[in-house]
Structure 1
Amino acid sequence: MLMKMFIMLLLFFFTGLYKFSVKNNHLLIMLLSLEFVSLIIFFMLMINLWMFSEKYVLMYYLTFCVCEGAFGLSLLVMFSSFSSYDYFQNLSFLKC
């Protein structure tokens, strides 16, 4: 049962990486796929660390994930206020 769940999470993980690497038109879609991958990594860590009773590592990981999400959302707001769209290919970092 645990092995089937781990294989399913690995499938979700690679699906999120595929979505991040291939379908990268919008910045919001890229941020959502990064959050999806970090959520899958959290579930994998939870399954693996539950047996060793080291649950404080999960809190550190969640803290970093929240900081990454807030930073990405602030970048999205900044880019969309400058250019009024969130297409990733059309954004030039040199203009900012």
Structure 2
Amino acid sequence: MKTQMMKLVILIMFFIGNMIFVSKHKHLLIVLLSLEFIVLSIYFLMMYYFLMMNYDMYMLMVFLVFSVCEGALGLSILVSMIRTFGNDYFQSYNLL
């Protein structure tokens, strides 16, 4: 019962993160936060399955390194956009 509830919570976290990412938001910061929420749910899922299968946690450290790099890249893009355009609205500039 406890493992089924844990799987359900992780699955709900993943789908909520995807729904926030897919919905149309004005700010880039909200999109980046939803991406980090998706990465966090994937991390919990990997940790759950590695614990259930008695694998070592080395792959989780590699995943954390890549997720931190992804977060730092997102923040650097956000800072450069705010310095260039003055805000993080998607409507204020043309992405094409």
Per the TM superposition, whether the score is higher than 0.5 is yes
Q: Secondary structure at the match of 2:56?
A: coil
Of 33-42 and 84-93, the range deviating more from structure 2: 84-93
Identity %: 45
Q: How many pairs were matched up?
A: 94
Q: Which residue of 2 aligns with 1:38?
A: 39
Of 72-81 and 51-60, the range deviating more from structure 2: 51-60
What amino acid is aligned across from residue 84 of structure 1 in structure 2? Answer: G
Q: Which residue of 2 aligns with 1:48?
A: 49
Of 9-18 and 48-57, the range deviating more from structure 2: 48-57
- Find runs of 4+ consecutive structure 1 residues off by over 6 angstroms: none
Root-mean-square deviation (CA, aligned residues, Å) is: 1.3
Structure 1: tracts of 5 or more residues without a match:
none
Note the 1:1-96 alignment, pairs <5 A. 1-50=2-51, 51-93=53-95
Following TM superposition, by how much is the alpha carbon of 1:8 offset from its aligned partner in structure 2, in angstroms? 1.2
Following TM superposition, by how much is the alpha carbon of 1:25 offset from its aligned partner in structure 2, in angstroms? 1.5
How many angstroms apart in 1 are the aligned matches of 2:19 and 2:28? 15
Deviation per residue, 1:35-57 (Å, 9 max, x gap): 01100100000000113322100
TM-score where L is the length of structure 1: 0.91
